[in-house]
């Protein structure tokens, strides 16, 4: 029996380690089928509505292509075109969309809106990024680490930069799956204490370790994986210049990479701002797996949709 059927995917925290393992295993199976040209229409006749209140390249394309490859159909729903944009309550939108669709993916600002949508929908709701979390990204990242290193347990990952949505989901996902995570972030921009607390609770069960430091060199010490994200997220555009100064010591450049373990994977959820959080040289280096990460969004989310909606 598939324990994920009909569930929402708002945070990795809502899923056990064995459920996440099952998602990763099925993602690998679907990826193998796709590469061999074996059809896998497990969502034939199903529909996914995709609500976007923020821009997207990877999330939109990977979900739309993913549902199509599974035999279903994806509808791109810009919030500007929905009545929601004119003030129709989220709860009404959730109830109405539940009468047409088999699943909803939403990208928005306030995490509470996604929770409200899920509370009033009778179909699975998938979080495609909020200001708080980006669980689809972390799922694809775990898949990438597992594929590249061969396992998750005991891997040392370091995240440098802003303690944002991507950092939060990595904290929850890594700690649950036994990946040690060391976050290097400046004062005032560290991940939320409530997320770090949950991650530490997860880590005490999985046997992993969660560290938060202001020292970027300490964060990458002994790292098998070095990860970064933009310094100013969507919605923080006017802080961009101020943040550039604050975050400059956290840039992933060749000097910092040298402080990690030899051959450490370099990861970035993309889009990247070259010369800011990462240098062109490192982004293009052999150690960089950013395109595999981007590709794995497709496979991880296909697994997710199939397990929630089939």
- Looking at the annotation, which residues are catalytic? 107, 134, 137, 229, 269, 297
Among positions 56, 79, 214, 236, the unique one binding ligand CP when judged by CB under 6 A: 56
Phi, psi angle pair for 248, to nearest 5°: -55, -35
Should residue 269 be labelled a site residue for ligand CP when binding is judged by CB under 6 A? yes
Site string for ligand NVA, 174-213 (x = CB under 6 A): ----------------------------------------
Distance CA 138, CA 14 (A): 14
Task: Mark the segment that binds ligand CP (CB under 6 A) among 50-58, 78-86, 194-202, 246-254.
Answer: 50-58
Containing 180, the helix (H) or strand (E) segment is strand 180-184
Should residue 270 be labelled a site residue for ligand CP when binding is judged by CB under 6 A? yes
**Strand, helix or coil for residue 227:** strand
Q: Are strands 265-268 and 225-228 parallel, antiparallel or unpaired?
A: parallel
Distance CA 178, CA 94 (A): 35
Contacts (Cβ under 8 Å, ≥6 apart) of 283: 266, 268, 272, 274, 290
Should residue 296 be labelled a site residue for ligand CP when binding is judged by CB under 6 A? no
The region, left, alpha or beta by phi > 0 then psi within -120 to 50, assigned to residue 98 is alpha
Task: Mark the segment that binds ligand NVA (CB under 6 A) among 71-79, 85-93, 200-208, 229-237.
Answer: 229-237
Should residue 83 be labelled a site residue for ligand CP when binding is judged by CB under 6 A? no
Should residue 233 be labelled a site residue for ligand NVA when binding is judged by CB under 6 A? yes
Q: How many CA atoms lie within 13 A of 254 on its CB side?
A: 5
Should residue 13 be labelled a site residue for ligand CP when binding is judged by CB under 6 A? no
Distance CA 53, CA 85 (A): 9
Q: Is the CB of 73 or the CB of 109 nearer to ligand NVA?
A: 109
Number of residues that bind ligand CP (CB under 6 A): 8
Distance CA 246, CA 230 (A): 13
Site string for ligand NVA, 123-162 (x = CB under 6 A): ------x---------------------------------
Should residue 144 be labelled a site residue for ligand CP when binding is judged by CB under 6 A? no
Closest to 148 (Cα-Cα) out of 266, 227, 69, 235: 266
Distance CA 57, CA 73 (A): 18
Shortest distance in whole angstroms from residue 210 CB to ligand NVA: 20
Among positions 196, 269, 283, 306, the unique one binding ligand NVA when judged by CB under 6 A: 269
Binding residues (CB under 6 A) for ligand NVA: these are 129, 164-166, 229-230, 233-234, 269
Binding residues (CB under 6 A) for ligand CP: these are 56-59, 129, 137, 269-270
């Amino acid at each position: 029996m598939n324990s994920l059927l009909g569930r929402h995917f708002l945070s990795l925290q809502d899923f056990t380690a064995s459920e996440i393992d099952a998602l990763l295993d099925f993602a690998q199976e679907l990826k193998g089928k796709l590469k061999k040209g074996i059809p896998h229409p497990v969502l034939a006749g199903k529909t996914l509505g995709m609500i976007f209140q923020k821009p997207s390249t990877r999330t939109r394309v990977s979900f739309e292509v993913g549902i199509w490859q599974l035999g279903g159909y994806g509808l791109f729903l810009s919030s500007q075109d929905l009545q929601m944009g004119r003030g129709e309550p989220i709860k009404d939108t959730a109830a109405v969309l539940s009468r047409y669709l088999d699943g909803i993916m939403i990208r928005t600002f306030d995490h509470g809106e996604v929770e409200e949508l899920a509370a009033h929908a009778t179909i699975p709701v998938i979080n495609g990024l909020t200001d708080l979390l980006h669980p689809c990204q972390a799922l694809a990242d775990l898949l990438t680490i597992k594929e590249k290193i061969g396992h998750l347990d005991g891997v040392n990952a370091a995240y440098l930069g802003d303690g944002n949505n991507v950092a939060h989901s990595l904290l929850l996902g890594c700690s649950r799956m036994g990946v040690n995570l060391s976050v290097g972030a400046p004062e005032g921009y560290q991940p939320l204490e409530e997320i770090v607390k949950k991650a530490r609770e997860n880590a005490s069960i999985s046997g992993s370790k969660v560290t938060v430091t202001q020292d970027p060199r300490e964060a990458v010490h002994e790292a098998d994986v070095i990860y970064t994200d933009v310094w100013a997220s969507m919605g923080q555009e006017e802080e961009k210049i101020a943040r550039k100064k604050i975050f400059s010591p956290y840039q992933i450049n060749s000097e910092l990479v040298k402080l990690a373990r030899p051959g450490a994977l370099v990861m970035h959820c993309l889009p990247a701002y070259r010369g800011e959080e990462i240098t062109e040289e490192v982004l293009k280096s052999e150690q960089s797996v950013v395109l595999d990460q981007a590709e794995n969004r497709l496979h991880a989310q296909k697994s997710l949709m199939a397990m929630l909606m089939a």
